[in-house]
Chains A and B, each alone.
Chain A
Amino acid sequence: MTGWLDTLLVLIVLTNLKLLGTSRLGGCIRVVAAQGVLLGGLPLLAGGGLLAPRALLLAAAGVGLKGIVFPWLLLRALREAKVQREVQPYLGFTASMLIGAGVLGIGLWAGSRLPLPTAVRSSLLVPVALATMLTGLLVVVSRSKAITQVLGYLVFENGIYAFGVGIAPDAPVLVELGILLDVFVAVFVMGIMIFHINREFDDIDTERLSELRDWRPE
């Protein structure tokens, strides 16, 4: 059981690294979708039992939203925006991957020092959750496209979700589903925003948003 959980967590780390190394927007979306599917397995393995109805519900909702609905929304936004399909990072791919590895180290260090209220199934769970959150932040700050910002936000949420599943497997289903609904609304709104940013600037580079102000320096 712990072996499967560890394998799942390592696969999540690999999707983090793959996201940092992927140069195509479509590829990035698919990597995040794969991560969502992997996360869907987390409540089954880290929670109470493999076939508890609560875990099954959470897993089905997670896989359905993060693995199917989000990628579909984002790929549609990408298709309709007809934008350049490259990520255009501020930080190179190699450097991003090195930082991704460093972030995992930070996660391990912090995970070993963090006092936890309950025992966790796998000692890898908290480090991987922290590393996933930091990877999400890294994607938000180091990539310029609006879509990558959404992806960074999603990965960040994935980290928090993994942390929550590991720490509080008995949190009310209602809360977890509420969070999933919030994320869904966020991604939906961001998809509409990407469309509008694109229509305004013919580009979804968020740097252009800094041009939005009341007065222009003469």
Chain B
Amino acid sequence: MRTWTWLHPLIALAFAPLLGGLIARTKAVFAGRTGAPVLQPYFDLAKLFRKGAVYSRTTTTVFRAAPTVGLAAIIVATLVVPFGGAPALLAFPGDFLLVVGLLAIGRFATVIAALDTGSSFEGMGASREVQFAALAEPALFLSLAAAGLAAGGSSLSRMQAAASVESWLAAGPALPLIAAALIAVVLAENSRIPVDDPNTHLELTMIHEVMILDHGGPDLGLILYGAALKLWVMGALLVNIVLPFRAGDAWVDGGISLAGMVLLAVAIGTIESSMARLRLTRVPQLLVGAATLAALALVLVLR
């Protein structure tokens, strides 16, 4: 069982960009295109890392440090998130607070770098990112707290260990509510379609993309890689709760979780293909709705 404890951070580091490729491929299939190769994100990253960086004269050290800080925070988060039926490398009571905090540090680094450029567009993007994050974070906190209470322990590894088919039947409607809230948070935090369109480059509508306009070369590569890892980390949180099947064998459980991640990527691609982007003023409503669902789940568990 311990194998996956060590394997998960390595697998996350290796396969995180693959999720983006799978999402793009799913969208291509829906649109009737052949689409880019599934490995395209890796090619993009390799291209970016070969380039040199260009820095504006108005930026300071903050701008240069931000991509590294953001990526480092996410890499630490991969150590805390359990995967494949095994506990995480770092598991202690209340570690879900650490994961949310690390995600917040990554976001703070991106936002502060965007503000450092002095560009009004990036300031606008930073403002939106923070506004939506302020609404998404309570939803994430509440759903993880509800999951922790249902599992009887505040550690993510404990929550994963407690997730089983029986726990789904015993907790009744609480777990589907948690899963729905987490899906909304995953979509919002990873700038996927109902909230943000990762493909647009129109300043009026984009949120996340607008903040990284001034980054180039290796810096952009680090940010894109960090974003892929963030999707992996949050996806793993979701898959741990939604896929409660455990076979007992380490490799089978790991395979189930990996299949869950692939399914998640396909599901996100399907959502992106079948939904329109929400109007910017409707996004807070989606996130408040997610927080309300999570609060309802918490109430059901507490009862």
The stretch that binds A, out of B45-53, B222-230, B288-296, is: B288-296
B292 x A97 contact (CB < 8 A): yes
Chain A residues near B (Cβ < 8 Å): 3, 6-7, 10-11, 13-14, 17, 21, 93-94, 97-98, 100-101, 104-105, 108, 123-124
The distance from the CB of B169 to the nearest CB of chain A, in whole angstroms, is 8
Given the complex of chains A and B, what is the CA–CA distance between A94 and B134 in angstroms?
14
Contact A104:B296 (CB < 8 A) given known A3-B172, A10-B173, A123-B303: yes
Please, which residues of chain B bring their CB within 8 A of the CB of A11?
Answer: 173
Given the complex of chains A and B, what is the CA–CA distance between A93 and B169 in angstroms?
33
The distance from the CB of A131 to the nearest CB of chain B, in whole angstroms, is 10
B292 x A10 contact (CB < 8 A): no
| Main SS at interface, chain B | helix
Apart from A3-B172, A7-B172, A94-B288: 14 A-B pairs, beta carbons within 8 A: A6-B300, A7-B173, A10-B172, A11-B173, A14-B293, A17-B289, A97-B288, A97-B292, A98-B288, A101-B292, A101-B295, A104-B296, A105-B299, A124-B300
Please, which residues of chain B bring their CB within 8 A of the CB of A21?
Answer: 285, 289
| Main SS at interface, chain A | helix
B285 x A6 contact (CB < 8 A): no
A17 x B284 contact (CB < 8 A): no
Q: Which among B172, B292, B300, B303 is the interface contact of A17 at CB below 8 angstroms?
A: B292
Please, which residues of chain A bring their CB within 8 A of the CB of B177?
Answer: 10
Please, which residues of chain B bring their CB within 8 A of the CB of A105?
Answer: 299
Question: Which of A14, A94, A97, A98 has the most B CB atoms < 10 Å from its CB?
Answer: A94
B289 x A104 contact (CB < 8 A): no
Proximity string of chain B (258-291) to chain A, C-beta cutoff 8 Å, 1 when within and 0 when not: 0000000000000000000000000011001101
A6 x B173 contact (CB < 8 A): yes
Residue of A with least CB distance to B291: A101
A6 x B172 contact (CB < 8 A): yes
29 contacts between A and B (CB under 8 A): A3-B169, A6-B172, A6-B173, A7-B172, A7-B173, A10-B172, A10-B177, A10-B296, A11-B173, A17-B289, A17-B292, A93-B285, A94-B284, A94-B288, A97-B285, A97-B288, A97-B289, A97-B292, A98-B288, A101-B291, A101-B295, A101-B296, A104-B296, A104-B299, A105-B299, A108-B303, A123-B303, A124-B300, A124-B303
Closest 3 pairs (CB-CB, A-B) = A10-B173, A101-B292, A7-B173
Given the complex of chains A and B, what is the CA–CA distance between A188 and B169 in angstroms?
43
Question: Which of A10, A14, A104, A123 has the most B CB atoms < 10 Å from its CB?
Answer: A10
The distance from the CB of A112 to the nearest CB of chain B, in whole angstroms, is 9
The distance from the CB of A92 to the nearest CB of chain B, in whole angstroms, is 9
Given the complex of chains A and B, what is the CA–CA distance between A21 and B169 in angstroms?
29
Given the complex of chains A and B, what is the CA–CA distance between A14 and B303 in angstroms?
18
Given the complex of chains A and B, what is the CA–CA distance between A93 and B293 in angstroms?
16
The distance from the CB of A42 to the nearest CB of chain B, in whole angstroms, is 15
The distance from the CB of B7 to the nearest CB of chain A, in whole angstroms, is 37
Please, which residues of chain A bring their CB within 8 A of the CB of B292?
Answer: 17, 97-98, 100-101
Given the complex of chains A and B, what is the CA–CA distance between A93 and B172 in angstroms?
28
Given the complex of chains A and B, what is the CA–CA distance between A98 and B293 in angstroms?
11
Given the complex of chains A and B, what is the CA–CA distance between A49 and B288 in angstroms?
38
Question: Which of B291, B292, B296 has the most A CB atoms < 10 Å from its CB?
Answer: B292
Please, which residues of chain B bring their CB within 8 A of the CB of A14?
Answer: 293
Residue of A with least CB distance to B283: A94
Given the complex of chains A and B, what is the CA–CA distance between A7 and B176 in angstroms?
10
Given the complex of chains A and B, what is the CA–CA distance between A124 and B169 in angstroms?
17
Proximity string of chain B (169-204) to chain A, C-beta cutoff 8 Å, 1 when within and 0 when not: 100110001000000000000000000000000000
